[in-house]
Structure 1
Amino acid sequence: MKFSKRLSIAAMLATATALTPLIAQTVSDDAPPKAQLDIPEGQTLFGKNDPNVRRATAQVNGEIITGTDIDHRLALIVAANNNQLPPEEVARFRAQILANLIDETLQIQEAAANEIDVTEGEVNQYFFRVAQQNFNRPANEVEKYLLSIGSSVATLKRQIKGELSWSRLLSRNVRPSANVSDDEVNAIIERIKATKGTTEFRLGEIYLSATPETIEAVSENAKKIIEQLRQGGNFVAYARQFSEASTASVGGDLGWLSLAQLPQSLATAATEMGPNEIRVVESPGGLSILLLIDKRQVATSDPRDSVLSLKQIAINFPAGTKEADVAPLVKQFSEETRNITGCGAADEMAKKLGADVVNRDGIKVRDLPAPLQQVMLDLQVGQSTPPYGSLDDGVRVFVMCGRDAPQEAASESFDEIMSRLEEERVNKRARIYLRDLRRDAVIEYN
């Protein structure tokens, strides 16, 4: 379901709800008035306020979106971020959620106008799958969990209905005309062959459009986003919410690109950046917050795809142990493991030191922490890594028991390339379709 800039249900629950570009900003329900009211003391309030009744936040072609709807979606985002959403981000999230709900409403309405019906049974079937995959619990227990975090089953099923409705609408009205010719695919295959061995970059992008009049404000917004990312914010989640590029629905992932496929400003930045580095780059029509995810050689096997068979030897320390008390043992551990001549000798050495041994098979080099990756690539079978760790986590080494070299990298097949191009074409036309729906809609904000 990646036809709009909303995240699929499955991905939303793994990170955060995908959101579309901001349409309008609203004042929160609890915003204080600008002036105090001159009301005498000792007055009586006639009637009873029901906290469960919320005023509408917006009406979309007469259909109401309430503050409760927004609260329930926000609760999913907060839970997905382990309840660590910065307070200063909440207002921005609420505004983006409202925009998302408006788009969702438009999509459901357009599907209904085209006589596309999503039944309650279909929604429930999808919901059961989401419950198992993302909450790892039966559907009947998910309802209790959602209520505990301040959300509801209804809000999740509403989003499921929106995604299914939009997907079917696009399949009927857009996909049949998004044809890709054999010549287009063959041209890409020839380009891949011609660039074999050159460097490709996998980049993440949060694109923020700007004009000369808005560039200063957009730059400040970019700085705030980068600050949150460097404090541990999830790049994928932020891209889904704030990026105005078509890649927002996939968390800003641009995929693997050669320098020739990038605007010059982004290409220059990519060659200068290190792994996981983030920087702001001027790009056509605005600013790009760029993340270097990875890089590789085109159509060439990557040593980091080697599959390792390892033996982990670890020494753990009791709570409260002081460094000086274990220094002799750590020194002996380092000397003994340095002299290991193979995995067969590791068990005996571990027993001598009272260490624990665990076999680790099927480990890809690229899945290891970055500092260990190059160490592993330089090791010969039978050698061990230097000791690493801490008093709290213990000290450990890995012994290389075996390494299977990666197979020659396989390029995308003809059908895979055609499918990717068709998907890109559908996504582009879907954005235009949704833009036209927004333009023609009667949207009233309260």
Structure 2
Amino acid sequence: MAALALGLMALAPAAGAQTVPDDAPLPSTGLDLPSNLQIFGDPNPDVRKPTAVVNDTVITGTDIDQRLAFVTAVNNFELSDEDKLQLRREILSQLIDETLQIQEAKANKIEVTPDQIDRYFAVYAQRNFNKTPEEMTAWLTSIGSSAATVKRQIEGEISWQQLLRQQVQVNVSDDEVRATIDRIREARGTEEFHLKEIYISASTPERQRQVYDAFQQMASQMREGTPFEMLARQYSEATTAPLGGDLGWVRAGMVPQPLAQAAQSMEVGQIAGPIDVGGGFSLLYLVDKRKVLTADPGDARLSLRQMTIRFPPGTAQAQATSLVSAFATATQAMRGCGDVAATAEKIGATVVDNDSMRVRDLPVQLRDTMQTMEIGTATQPFGSLDDGVSVLVLCGRDAPSEPLLPSEDQVRDQIEQQRTSLRAQRMLRDLRRDALIEYR
């Protein structure tokens, strides 16, 4: 189910395309491509049309429209016409991949039954939307989508996973596992970083200027809400592009020195770059950081009560500011968590409890505050006029325990998953190459 969620997040509006100068040296491709060529006939014959036939399976405009409506609603996208067109192209590519995966599974005698799909659909609806299958179906219809588009993606995920289990055999030796555990043990206390990267090559001064401008444009898009991962999938030339640029957890010695130096000076949630890494530039995003096999303050578990006030439509900014000020005064005067219910009733606030929230799962702006707050006190108000204003009341804090070395089975599973993922990428690449796809 995690793969399904990631698949939905993989779709994004486009940033402006960057062009390579005519005289730029060609990268090594293994193909016989002249640097100065002449095109005969239609200069752009492979424009992707809105629908396609994939090995006799038709992908209709309705298929794309319904998936577009779902992705837009789930991610709260506000799309321009140009962005919507690009997103439709991305959705068409995803539907083609799903079709190829389902076809290849059936060719290998793998059948996914309607009952299997319905069970996964029910789990997905409950876990991600807190809805029954019937409620999920009604909601999808209301946004212009359908249960069929979600079930199609579920079928693709199940088919592909079963095919990989059948086709991919990964062997990990005991020596590899022990060597990995030894390296982890030796790295105890070393700082490591969860990084995401967008890399674009640049070998000439003119190309370097273009890449720099491209990164500036990406930074502007991210400030407007476009996720880093989406831009990485579309523009990064690194092998991590299909993963949204995710490098995973790395230590300083595992990445080029310019990236390591940048990571060591960055704060969580910060973006740095463009960083010259020789032959190109990288944009770096620090998702999180920690110390190997050391208790991490970010793993402390909090018991929280959230109080929220909401504003009627049409509330003026001045009136809202006055209400927020009164809200802050009331919450700061509370005498611990036991006073939350009475205060909420008095001021008309709603209350939601969470007894196991990790510090690292909070928004970056609240993490430091929650680590130093006294039990029974409340944060300053936060939120917006549209979504409401909240405070968090800290009712308890459990210190994090020191992590243990992973077991041999855990290390073996991780290595197997990494190798299976690489093999899956190659299999899908081969399916795309051999498929008969007619764009309409």
Query: TM-score under structure 2 normalisation?
Result: 0.72
Which of 196, 202, 205 is equivalent to 2:188?
196
- Structure 1 residues 122 and 395 mapped into 2: Cα distance closer, same or farther (>3 Å)? closer
**Given the alignment of the two structures, is residue 272 of structure 1 paired with residue 293 of structure 2, yes or no?**
no
Which of 226, 237, 240 is equivalent to 1:233?
226
The corresponding residue for 1:181 is 173
**Given the alignment of the two structures, is residue 77 of structure 1 paired with residue 71 of structure 2, yes or no?**
yes
**Counterpart amino acid of 2:188?**
K
| 1:295-329 alpha-carbon deviations (Å, 9 max, x no partner) | 11111112233334578899999975597999999
Which of 148, 151, 160 is equivalent to 1:157?
151
Greater displacement, 101-110 / 415-424: 101-110
**Given the alignment of the two structures, is residue 26 of structure 1 paired with residue 18 of structure 2, yes or no?**
no
The corresponding residue for 1:8 is 3
| 1:129-154 alpha-carbon deviations (Å, 9 max, x no partner) | 33333343333343343333233333
CA distance in 1, matches of 2:277, 2:157: 31
CA distance in 2, matches of 1:369, 1:262: 27
Q: Decide whether the 8 Å contact of 1:240 with 1:249 is kept in 2.
A: yes
> What pairs up with 1:279-358 in 2 under 5 angstroms?
279=272, 280-282=274-276, 287-308=281-302, 343=336
Q: Decide whether the 8 Å contact of 2:194 with 2:287 is kept in 1.
A: yes
> What pairs up with 1:204-243 in 2 under 5 angstroms?
204-207=196-199, 220-239=213-232
% identity of equivalent residues: 44
- Structure 1 residues 93 and 219 mapped into 2: Cα distance closer, same or farther (>3 Å)? farther
Greater displacement, 162-171 / 423-432: 162-171
The corresponding residue for 1:88 is 82
The corresponding residue for 2:418 is 424
Cα deviation for residue 59 of structure 1 reads 3.2
- Structure 1 residues 167 and 379 mapped into 2: Cα distance closer, same or farther (>3 Å)? closer
CA distance in 2, matches of 1:124, 1:211: 52
Q: Indicate the SS of the match to 1:75.
A: helix
Q: Indicate the SS of the match to 1:205.
A: strand
- Structure 1 residues 427 and 264 mapped into 2: Cα distance closer, same or farther (>3 Å)? same
- The count of aligned residue pairs is 397
The corresponding residue for 1:407 is 401
Cα deviation for residue 258 of structure 1 reads 0.5
Q: Decide whether the 8 Å contact of 1:313 with 1:356 is kept in 2.
A: no
The corresponding residue for 2:41 is none
Q: Decide whether the 8 Å contact of 1:314 with 1:355 is kept in 2.
A: no
CA distance in 1, matches of 2:216, 2:122: 40
The corresponding residue for 1:148 is 142
**Given the alignment of the two structures, is residue 168 of structure 1 paired with residue 141 of structure 2, yes or no?**
no
CA distance in 2, matches of 1:315, 1:93: 36
- Structure 1 residues 394 and 132 mapped into 2: Cα distance closer, same or farther (>3 Å)? closer
CA distance in 2, matches of 1:410, 1:419: 17
CA distance in 1, matches of 2:383, 2:73: 31
Greater displacement, 312-321 / 158-167: 312-321
The corresponding residue for 1:111 is 105
Q: Decide whether the 8 Å contact of 2:48 with 2:89 is kept in 1.
A: no
- Structure 1 residues 434 and 378 mapped into 2: Cα distance closer, same or farther (>3 Å)? closer
CA distance in 2, matches of 1:134, 1:371: 25
In structure 1, the gaps of 5 or more residues are 2-6, 30-56
CA distance in 1, matches of 2:326, 2:122: 56
**Counterpart amino acid of 1:81?**
N
Which of 233, 256, 269 is equivalent to 1:263?
256
- Structure 1 residues 124 and 285 mapped into 2: Cα distance closer, same or farther (>3 Å)? farther
- Structure 1 residues 126 and 246 mapped into 2: Cα distance closer, same or farther (>3 Å)? farther
Cα deviation for residue 376 of structure 1 reads 4.5
CA distance in 2, matches of 1:80, 1:444: 30
Greater displacement, 233-242 / 197-206: 233-242
| 1:374-399 alpha-carbon deviations (Å, 9 max, x no partner) | 344445668x578666997789795x
**Counterpart amino acid of 1:181?**
S
CA distance in 2, matches of 1:59, 1:311: 53
CA distance in 1, matches of 2:111, 2:231: 32
**Counterpart amino acid of 2:252?**
L
Q: Decide whether the 8 Å contact of 1:18 with 1:249 is kept in 2.
A: no
Q: Decide whether the 8 Å contact of 1:308 with 1:403 is kept in 2.
A: yes
| 1:112-141 alpha-carbon deviations (Å, 9 max, x no partner) | 322222233333332333333334333334
**Counterpart amino acid of 1:261?**
M
Q: Indicate the SS of the match to 1:64.
A: strand
The corresponding residue for 2:360 is 366
CA RMSD of aligned residues (A): 4.4
